[in-house]
Structure 1
């Protein structure tokens, strides 16, 4: 099932654009993922019985960023991203399970705990940054840019610049 179409990103860009048009036309919703995480976190906090409803965060847009709006279509989008990536890797026979990426092992060694701590800390930083930017790369990059949003073009540029700088700091310059 490995065809050249699997290797052409512009095919998937066009499909993502069509899916975005359908999503807006049918459901009135643009793409984005970062809001799912605070919604899930506040839903879990509410589930265990901690009342944080007095915080301003819980009152923004009548609780639209909290567990009150969870689960919703965006959760399905987040799950679909992971599931779609897994299924496409299985379909193209490119799936490969790794304990640690070779690039990480070369730079930091084979300590899984260190990788987990860095991943959690990095994930928190990325989520805080995405919320400060008013959205994530998928939200700004696909939905915002499709609307020619200047703030989305700027945010997307900063996501890339930040990623390049971080990769250079962590891994240095590599030709391979």
Structure 2
């Protein structure tokens, strides 16, 4: 039995407590991506970006949530290297066996899925970490509904994509 997910779960729970204690804010990641898009837009459009109501609400800055996302990437990389599980895999085996090992197709599907997840998280007012960890921790009904929809949608999509039902 691999205890790593249990350790990670306990760590996320403790991190949630600390976040509420020190910042009075819940954990969440999707706003960091919104802020990043604003930073990228700012490079091309300058001060016009700051005039948008959306970026007035979600200022394009590096904040603690942005650093949390960076920490997730760095932490996942460090643990995978330490545990010996790190590898670069452009096309995962399950995807390749089902759809072929075309790297371009895999990148298009990953980009499309990422865009849809980003739109969905902004539409839902949070992502799996915001709703699934922080919202359910606070017993928010909207978060419980969002998490149920996340899981059901993921299961249905996996069944449809990988032909589990037929």
Please, what TM-score do these two structures have when normalized by structure 1? 0.86
**Aligned pairs (5 A) from 1:25-64:** 25-50=21-46, 51-58=48-55, 63-64=56-57
TM superposition shift of 1:96: 2.3
1:66 aligns with 2:59: yes
Q: What is the distance in 2 between the residues matched to 1:55 and 1:25?
A: 32
Match of 2:67, SS?
helix
TM superposition shift of 1:52: 4.2
TM superposition shift of 1:78: 0.3
TM superposition shift of 1:162: 0.9
Q: Which residue of 1 aligns with 2:20?
A: 24
Gaps of 5+ in 2: none
Q: What is the distance in 2 between the residues matched to 1:71 and 1:99?
A: 29
Gaps of 5+ in 1: none
Equivalent of residue 160 in structure 1, options 130, 151, 154: 151
Q: What is the distance in 2 between the residues matched to 1:71 and 1:26?
A: 18
Q: Which residue of 2 aligns with 1:123?
A: 114
Counting matched residue pairs gives 164
1:135-161 CA-partner distances (Å, limit 9, x unpaired): 000111110011000000000111111
Contact kept, 8 Å, 1:32 with 1:136, in 2: the verdict is yes
TM superposition shift of 1:75: 0.9
Match of 2:30, SS?
coil
Q: What is the distance in 2 between the residues matched to 1:53 and 1:90?
A: 40
TM superposition shift of 1:86: 1.1
TM superposition shift of 1:28: 2.1
RMSD: 1.7
Match of 2:45, SS?
coil
Q: What is the distance in 2 between the residues matched to 1:53 and 1:14?
A: 39
Please, what TM-score do these two structures have when normalized by structure 2? 0.90
Query: Whose helix proportion is higher, 1 or 2?
Result: 2
Match of 1:49, SS?
helix
